[in-house]
Structure 1
Amino acid sequence: MVEALGTASSVGPLIQKSRTITTYLKNIKEAPKELDKLLKELRDLEIALTMVELHTRSVTEDDLWLVTLQELETTLDELTEILNKLKKRLEDTSSWMRRMLQWPFTKDGMEEDLGKLERIKSLLLVAAQHNHLALSRAVQRSREVLETTYLTNQLQMDREAAYVAAWLTPLDYNCVQHDKLEQRASDTGAWFFKSPQFLSWTDISKAPSTLWCFGDPGVGKTIFASVIVDHLRVKFNAEETLVLCTFCDYRSAATQTVTNVICSLLKQFIQARLSLTDSIKSFYNRYSRNGTRPSLDGITNLLSQELEPFRHVYIILDALDEFNKNLGGRKELIDILRALGDNICLLVTSRNIHTIRSLFVADTKLDIRADGADIRKTILVKLKQGYLPISLKGGKNIREKILKTVVEKADGVQVSYACSSSISRQFPQITNGLSRSWILKLPNTIEHAYEYLLTKIDSQPNKDLAYRIFGWIAFAERPLTGSELQHALAVEPRSKSLSARNIVSYNIITKVCAGFVVRDRQGSPSFVHHSMQEFFISRKAKLFPYIQEDITRTCLAYMSLDIFSSPDSFMLELFCNSLEVYPFLRYSSNNWTYHARKCTRDTVENEILTFLPTRAKVALSFEEPPYSQPEVQRTPAWFAARYGLVHVMEAGQLAFVELLLSRDDWDVDVNRAGKIMLPHSFAEIGHQFRGFGLEDIFVCSPLCTPLIAAASNGHERTVERLLQSSKMETLNASSSSGMTALSTAISDEHVGVVKLLLSQPDTDTSITYNNLGLDALTPIMLAAGIGNEDILRILLERGDDPDAATPKGIMALHCASMYGHSRIVEILLMTGRVDINAVDHLGYTALMKAAIGTSRMAMQTVKVLSEHTGIDIMAKNVNGRSAYSLAVGAGHGKIVTYLASKRHTRSTDADLSTL
């Protein structure tokens, strides 16, 4: 390992040396064409070296990457020699003026160096792919063509295409697929590819369809998905058939959004094509110029356009049950994938749960279970690799007994066998006399296997540490990095400093957890399988009754370290930016309130009250957008306003607020300057709150009232408590941005808060929202515009007028049509209380707005409107343009074709002349 790490340490200086040479070269004038070639090779070389360096950062002692690094030793030595020579030639030029004018290399010498750089770059790219065998062959063959798909893609892909692919999203599911494929035991899964369901799904003579593959946790669905991707890419011609994949992971919830998943599919298209189409170039330039990100509809429309030429597009979506806790997000993703085109063949894997099963009622289904023969083959592979005890390799009879029993006990679940193999490590010597008793102890379900392993952990001296690790991994708001977990474990409740002796090494973390915890491909600690996370969460009351309190206190204690107490704002900023030294600071700053909200009432109130007045600056230093607003004064008072009425409210602690609301001299109101009125007698409220420095705690930004802040964050208990106060006088007040509590709750889709506000007899639903120059919109228009069916139905049931219009003639039907909410359009039309041909001040009907909409559901919305009785398809706006003409101008070919096919559509020259 020492030799390999020594090799790795040379990568950083090589990157810097390459950059120095590039800087020299850019100053040379009137150079031959070899200059451009050299600059290109150096840029590509820097990318390859950076990839190698990134892999090296998370290396462990047993990582095969160390073997790869040792293979690169000679190659990196040769590269060092070449770069030193190039740098010396450039530096030896006699003067700066000559360096600006003279090319200091001969043609023959430069051709030789370019050839060497290209060969070395190729080897580095192969190494970065973790393909040790290919690297060994490449090193031996030197200049021969390297036969690996990854290398071919990297070498042939246009540099601009590679940059755009990286700009789209950091998600790289091709790498995930490669990693999962390597975990497959050879020759397993044959039964799946012979199944009638799969054969029918891949039959190119049939219309594209959807195949839902469901199975229990641990049956190996993700491995199957990676094998399917590989199988399809080998089977079909890449010119006619495209294979894309997505691997959902509960640990990536923050980045695993619908938009990012669709971006990742477009990224894979670019990587497969090796260059950019004109449409993608135009798309990228449009957004990169403005420094903005594309919308979901924009990405979806572009992807649909690019996939259209293929005969079949196979999309494999693995672990849908691990995507987005918001169930609506799963449905939205599936709907988008289905709507990408008529050539989409979709395969989805997940657990068999009702909310997902309802998405595939009419689709082909296939139950995935680990075949007994596959489990046996996998165990034999582990035996050969030495992952099971030597004693299991002993007598043939013992081995056969164990193999047979493990397969039977696993009952089609590969994780069960894995746990059985972990359990077997507890029995160093298994003889004929002991084999029967050992076999009888084997668990026959995943849950039993986990419980059995916990009994082993309970018997070891470090069990408290093990459970702390399990608690952090299971209940953290997002996956922790290795260093974050190490610092979290090192915090002592009342200590004001962090002791190095409390930092737990990664080897100890994995050892005390008895196989439960591993390092993922990013080097972060995680459970070996998602089912383990569910196991611990389901047993929270028994195993982790106070985990949220423990995490909250740890976060507060970390932010309260003396190192962050400097009154010098420059020093504070310096410390807060030292994430390598204090890696847990960002997590604790961003997420302590998340955990505090989940605490039992009043358990952490004192710690929060102590923390806020003196240490809020630390938390604010890492506050995530959109709350990091420079125009707001960052004080404890601002912090309290951002999180609701007061900080204890945001933390779920209402005692302090109830005390305040019970005072006759306190008013839940704001003055014209947006400041909460604070009585002079505040200091006399109660002795338990004295000394906390909270005299300015109710001074808040004019951005919102307390009720609006609570409504915006969806804090139902807080809203309910405020509404119950006899002092509430701001129910219908609006913020400086024009938002009321009701319009805020509707816009943020907090259905529970909407119900609470509408339950108040004094709530005024006629108040309009007027912000950023938009026309004034009523609540029902807002609900239609965002497409929330639940809120819309609540408002309609109250009797709100769906046909109400703004001064500019905009109605709820216009809002829903503009954004492609076809289901909302259907609901509004079914009321019989809307005019489908109503126009705004520019003469636009709902159909016209749908025809020019950029939503992926624009076509469906056009169909719903155009098929409704009484629709005037030929209506024209003030400029004489019909829906058909507007669709032509917007370039919406499918909508144009559909409208042209309608019986009353007239695509006349006069109509087209208005374009």
Structure 2
Amino acid sequence: MEAVGGAAAILQLIDVALKTTAQVYKIYADFRDAKETHKRLAREMRDLVRVLHQLLDVVLDSDPDEPKSRHPEALRDMLEGKDSIVACCQEDVVKVSNLLGEVPSISWPVRKRKIDQILSNVASTRAQLSLAVQTQSMAIVLDIRRTLDRHSSYMRQHVESESNKAIFAWLNPPDVWESLRNALQKRQPGTGEWLSKTPEFEYWQGNPGSLWLSGMPGAGKTIMSSTIVTSLLTETQTSASAVVYSYFDFSNESQQEAQSFLRTCIAQLAAKNPTAYDILVGLRNRCSEAQGQQPRLEELLEATVAALGCFPQVFVVVDALDECSERGKLLNIVKELQSVRNLHLVLLSRPEQEIEKALSSSTKELPLRGAKVDQDIAAYIQERIHRSGEMQEWTGEDREKVEAQLSEMAGGMFRWVQCQLDSLEKCIDSNQVDETLASLPPDLPSTYERILVNLDVKSAARVRDVLVALAFARRPLQVGEVMDIVSISITDYPRGKKSGNTVYLNQLLSLCSSMVSISTSGSGEKKKQEMRLAHASVKDYLVSEQLRNGPASAFYTTPGQGHLLMAAKSVACLLNQNDVSEFGPHTLGEVPFLQYSALNWVHHARDANLETNRGSLDDLIFALFHRDGDAYINWHRVTGRHGPATPVEGYAWDIHIRDGSKLIDGGRPCPKERLLNGHQIDRPLHHALQWNLWRVVQRLLDAGHDPNGYSKGNRAPLHYGVLQRALESMDLILDRGGNIDIGDWIGDTPAMFCAYKAKDPVTMEWLMDRGASLFPVSRRSGSLLQCAAMEGDPDVLEVILRKKPLNVSPDIGVDHNYNEIADLATPLQCAAYAGNLACIELLLKYGANVNLAKGKVGTALHAAGASGNLEAFQLLLERGANPNAVNGQYGSVLWAAAYGGDRECVRICLQRGLSIDELRTIRLFPEKNWPDLSDEERDKLMSEIIRNAGDRYCRDIFDAARSGMTSRVKAYLDGAEDRKAELEKKHDIHLRTPLSWAAAGGHIETVKYLAMEGANLNVWGRGLETPLEFGCLAGRLDMIKCLLALGARAEFRQAGKYRTAVVCAEISGNKELVEFLKALEDDRTVTFEFEGQTYEHDGDKGYKRKQ
């Protein structure tokens, strides 16, 4: 069928229908007074014209040279020939027109009967044409879905392949597939296809730049974004261009942060292009060098921009900017991305002032409103009525009335129409349809209000619990979890109990009506049903002033009250698990809400701290912390010994309850008293401090809990308080005799803990104002100023310098002999050694002496050289450091730099002049100075100096192993009286062997040499950590593969261990390493590659090279 012929037939019928409609208006000047038949006729002509326009779009979009786009025979038969449906319909419409114009010789009742009969034929024809459009649109949709399935399959195969799975697990991008799938399931075929024909979109598609699609709440923006994504994927599937899509989601905290957008982008780009994948690998490697840390936002942005450059064109679709919890950061990211030359960026959001202001100068806005949106809504209404079993029983007149009135009142809001159709479906007769249409609410808030005010009192309480839980849960809740929430009572003090009534899901959903929805996520064994709020506008309504001041005010909540309810329900759920002996792996299946409760209640409780109307929450928490040891233990058995701050979800569960009765203690039952009173799990007061639950802290102190008591890890409550800026709780501890300078097991005070772990200037100011001392010394950190200069944030260091006593110098040195920092005496030396440039600048600003020689290392310049920190070395020279200083154990700055091993630092020293006498001691080129040497001679000289420095200043085998100096390790072993004893020596607070030091430092060659010499690969340190676990703590995947290949024990989870390999890997933050260990543990047939060889499991012997 030729497109032109089909289009001509359609246009002829449109012309006749429009003329007939005009004829009706001409006969009746005031159409509101027209007879019902005339009204019906006008509506039928209008609907016919709408369907014909849709059919015309299908015909004109065809490409005769593309077989896939040709229309099927059925569509050809409808349009071609004198007996076609379109031709017959045209004849019917002409007959109607003639009847309208006939002289009064034929009475109106006779004409009415004929017109009604013909209109029935027209309605039947319209239905067939609409079905044809839907069929053709469905074929297009199916083709799109096949494209998506191929795209999804390719992406998942790439992301989940054994070689790539670990790195994508480390990146941890949100699962945008679920969001796209859910949007497509709701999408009416054909919706939004008009957008691609607008001048603005066509220009954006052909030219890099930004386009902002703005729309009111409920305007169908997410559906529109899915239309754009599917269209782009279809059009670019044979090109080298990339399509990236990201969804912000109000119901999922992991999809509300600005970083989640960047993680999504780089993950999708890396899965499509090997160069982009290499950029991701490089990012991971740089973070691994920082011991498995997650990338900062700036690093993610830099990597994303680099990955975008790997494609000729990149189309990025970002939906729901307004649902991002870090909108300022996100808009800054958008601003940076807009400078990428090959990027086509489309953004969808509500037209909010902050977004409009940020985008106005750089982004073309296209509002989602107008006739095309109205046509989409009308098509949605028709399709919804057509699919509804309830509405198919209605008379044609009722269906027409609903179509007409909803189309007229929609105002561009798909969501409003959906809610009205949900309500109309429940009508049982024509009168009720008329009553519902007569009282349609004007907007979404009024719609939600009508749903809620019609609930009875008992049902209202349950529905409120469901709505509030779904609005403030930290992730989408599964259906079973919601059912548990509804059935748990929080007023049955001292223990929350299930109500005893069975809650029926379908009835509950019926009560919630249009305000909640159920979707399926995952597949196979991971498939699950999730319940969510049906739209972001529902959450907006729950916290709105309109609800607060309206007739449904009982449903009003604030974010604080929402989190309070979730915390109370969660703690009540935990209190139900009040018997250690009955608690086992089966419990998770029996109580779906249990794991969510265990991992999230403290977060909800913290977010509810400012609420004054507390209900029973504080009573429930106190009952968990003070009165019910079994429930408290079982809580930790779900989260792991580290509690909800660093949960080890699947692994901790299996370790701690696999016997179904009690925690394991070296293979023996562990008494509850030891668990509660020893250091097996954190004490209640410490948890209360960590999450700043100050009301509970007060009650625990009143009940006799020790304000200076040590918990797991030998830390006091104040150490936990600094982690979350728990100032109110910390004040209570000090009021009850807490020691502000109390040291933990290695002497770190709360202030030191704040300096290197919390890095919070507000908490540090609080500590300094209350008398935190500068003089305690830690075996790990030295003094407070040393700790802050070496590991802290410059803002924290500035607080200490500003608040310190006037008579205390910034050069204050504390003599000690602890670990690596034993050589560093002043804060400036510590900052230089760590390469902390901002702290160097601060210390100099506050009067630190750049050339002060103190302690073993010498000056700060010696310290920078000894650690190989080139930037710090250069900065100190710029600030007046003396390169000719001769101090400390290294003597000259040159030898300190040579020991640090940075060739550029050594080069700088040599360029500044070296005497002939000093050159002769090296015995290379004794008659030449540096300027006289060739480039080759200079490289050779620097290498010799660095080697000599290692020989001169390496103090023991631990120093050599920590620095990866294999030759020095060999020299120490060769010179030892007892070679085996030298290998097994233990050192420092962690009781590490040379092998453990080398493993933690990532020095593979040194580890291989020590193993070859007979070092014990499975020796335990103080916390029962083996070299494998020290390597895990450092987040070093290659080192773990090396140790396993050498024969290290492959038990990643041992009963009684303080920190297992998996736990250590999780502490490091290296998710790639975590996934690697889990894969080996879950499936002993899994192999791994190391240095070109494949290794397989060999029973108790660990891993061996595959033959």
Name the TM-score, length of structure 2 as normaliser.
0.51
Tell me what 2:534 maps to: 528
CA contact (8 A) 1:243 1:315 kept: yes
Structure 1 residues 222 and 622: CA distance shift in structure 2, 3 A? same
Tell me what 1:249 maps to: 249
Tell me what 2:817 maps to: none
* One-letter amino acid of the structure 2 residue matched with residue 586 of structure 1: Q
Structure 1 residues 187 and 773: CA distance shift in structure 2, 3 A? farther
Tell me what 2:698 maps to: 657
Identify which of 614, 622, 625 aligns with 2:638.
622
Establish whether residue 558 from structure 1 lines up as the match of residue 573 from structure 2.
yes
- Cα deviation for residue 517 of structure 1 reads 1.0
Identify which of 563, 574, 583 aligns with 1:572.
583
Tell me what 1:543 maps to: 555
Structure 1 residues 397 and 779: CA distance shift in structure 2, 3 A? same
- Cα deviation for residue 712 of structure 1 reads 1.6
Mapping 1:126-525, distance limit 5 Å: 148=147, 150-151=149-150, 154=153, 162-164=161-163, 166-167=165-166, 168=168, 169=172, 171-189=174-192, 192-193=195-196, 198=201, 201-204=204-207, 208-236=208-236, 239-254=239-254, 261-273=261-273, 295=295, 305-323=306-324, 325=325, 330=330, 343-353=342-352, 360=359, 363-366=362-365, 368-386=367-385, 389-390=391-392, 391=394, 394=397, 398-399=401-402, 401-407=404-410, 410=411, 412-425=412-425, 427-429=427-429, 438-439=436-437, 441-456=439-454, 458-459=455-456, 462-492=459-489, 494=492, 502-522=501-521, 523-525=529-531
CA contact (8 A) 2:251 2:472 kept: no
- Cα deviation for residue 602 of structure 1 reads 7.8
CA contact (8 A) 1:810 1:839 kept: no
Identify which of 624, 628, 634 aligns with 1:611.
624
- Give deviations 1:248-278, integer Å, cap 9, x for gaps: 2132214766666544434423543599967
| C-alpha distance in structure 1 between counterparts of 2:210 and 2:397, whole Å | 47
| C-alpha distance in structure 1 between counterparts of 2:222 and 2:276, whole Å | 31
Tell me what 1:592 maps to: 601
- Cα deviation for residue 530 of structure 1 reads 1.5
Structure 1 residues 188 and 829: CA distance shift in structure 2, 3 A? farther
| C-alpha distance in structure 2 between counterparts of 1:658 and 1:531, whole Å | 40
* One-letter amino acid of the structure 1 residue matched with residue 448 of structure 2: Y
CA contact (8 A) 1:211 1:346 kept: yes
Give percent identity, aligned residues only: 16
Structure 2 residue matching 1:579: 3-state secondary structure: helix
| C-alpha distance in structure 1 between counterparts of 2:473 and 2:242, whole Å | 38
Structure 1 residues 648 and 179: CA distance shift in structure 2, 3 A? closer
CA contact (8 A) 1:222 1:319 kept: yes
Establish whether residue 841 from structure 1 lines up as the match of residue 863 from structure 2.
yes
Establish whether residue 753 from structure 1 lines up as the match of residue 763 from structure 2.
yes
- Give deviations 1:318-371, integer Å, cap 9, x for gaps: 223333x456764686588679x6544444333455665676575315254344
Structure 1 residues 255 and 423: CA distance shift in structure 2, 3 A? closer
Tell me what 2:1013 maps to: none
Number of equivalenced pairs: 687
Q: Once structures 1 and 2 are overlaid, which stretch shifts more, 155-164 or 509-518?
A: 155-164
Structure 1 residues 372 and 815: CA distance shift in structure 2, 3 A? farther
Mapping 1:31-180, distance limit 5 Å: 148=147, 150-151=149-150, 154=153, 162-164=161-163, 166-167=165-166, 168=168, 169=172, 171-180=174-183
| C-alpha distance in structure 2 between counterparts of 1:413 and 1:793, whole Å | 54
- Give deviations 1:619-641, integer Å, cap 9, x for gaps: 11112463679999642786995
CA contact (8 A) 1:242 1:310 kept: yes
| C-alpha distance in structure 1 between counterparts of 2:188 and 2:140, whole Å | 22
- Give deviations 1:85-137, integer Å, cap 9, x for gaps: xxxxxxxxxxxxxxxxxxxxxxxxxxxxxxxxxxxxxxxxxxxxxxx989999
- Cα deviation for residue 459 of structure 1 reads 4.9
CA contact (8 A) 1:769 1:778 kept: no
- Cα deviation for residue 528 of structure 1 reads 0.6
Whose radius of gyration is greater, 1 or 2?
A: 2
| C-alpha distance in structure 2 between counterparts of 1:332 and 1:452, whole Å | 40
- Cα deviation for residue 469 of structure 1 reads 1.6
Structure 1 residues 265 and 326: CA distance shift in structure 2, 3 A? closer
Structure 1 residue matching 2:591: 3-state secondary structure: coil
* One-letter amino acid of the structure 1 residue matched with residue 715 of structure 2: C
Structure 1 residues 776 and 348: CA distance shift in structure 2, 3 A? farther
CA contact (8 A) 1:153 1:271 kept: no
Mapping 1:898-909, distance limit 5 Å: none
CA contact (8 A) 2:318 2:347 kept: yes
Tell me what 1:141 maps to: none
CA contact (8 A) 2:692 2:728 kept: no
Structure 1 residues 162 and 607: CA distance shift in structure 2, 3 A? closer
Alignment root-mean-square deviation, CA:
5.7
- Cα deviation for residue 513 of structure 1 reads 0.7
Structure 1 residue matching 2:513: 3-state secondary structure: coil
Q: Once structures 1 and 2 are overlaid, which stretch shifts more, 767-776 or 165-174?
A: 767-776
CA contact (8 A) 1:549 1:603 kept: no
Identify which of 710, 733, 755 aligns with 1:722.
733
* One-letter amino acid of the structure 2 residue matched with residue 611 of structure 1: L
CA contact (8 A) 2:276 2:306 kept: no
Tell me what 1:713 maps to: 724
| C-alpha distance in structure 1 between counterparts of 2:906 and 2:396, whole Å | 75
- Give deviations 1:864-886, integer Å, cap 9, x for gaps: x99x99999xx996557449999
| C-alpha distance in structure 1 between counterparts of 2:142 and 2:470, whole Å | 41
Structure 1 residues 717 and 756: CA distance shift in structure 2, 3 A? same
Structure 1 residues 394 and 755: CA distance shift in structure 2, 3 A? farther
CA contact (8 A) 1:241 1:310 kept: yes
| C-alpha distance in structure 2 between counterparts of 1:653 and 1:415, whole Å | 43
Mapping 1:791-802, distance limit 5 Å: none
- Cα deviation for residue 518 of structure 1 reads 0.7
CA contact (8 A) 1:780 1:795 kept: no
Structure 1 residue matching 2:477: 3-state secondary structure: coil
Structure 1 residues 235 and 765: CA distance shift in structure 2, 3 A? farther
* One-letter amino acid of the structure 2 residue matched with residue 173 of structure 1: V
Tell me what 2:6 maps to: none
CA contact (8 A) 1:712 1:745 kept: yes
CA contact (8 A) 1:640 1:647 kept: no
Structure 1 residue matching 2:588: 3-state secondary structure: coil
Structure 2 residue matching 1:526: 3-state secondary structure: strand
| C-alpha distance in structure 2 between counterparts of 1:320 and 1:770, whole Å | 48
Structure 1 residue matching 2:590: 3-state secondary structure: coil
- Cα deviation for residue 244 of structure 1 reads 1.1
| C-alpha distance in structure 2 between counterparts of 1:413 and 1:777, whole Å | 61
Structure 1 residue matching 2:541: 3-state secondary structure: helix
| C-alpha distance in structure 2 between counterparts of 1:295 and 1:588, whole Å | 29
CA contact (8 A) 2:420 2:440 kept: yes
> Structure 2: which 5+ runs fail to align?
1-136, 522-528, 657-664, 814-823, 852-859, 883-892, 909-934, 944-1107
| C-alpha distance in structure 2 between counterparts of 1:489 and 1:649, whole Å | 29
Tell me what 1:48 maps to: none
- Cα deviation for residue 482 of structure 1 reads 0.8
The structure that is helix-richer by fraction is: 2
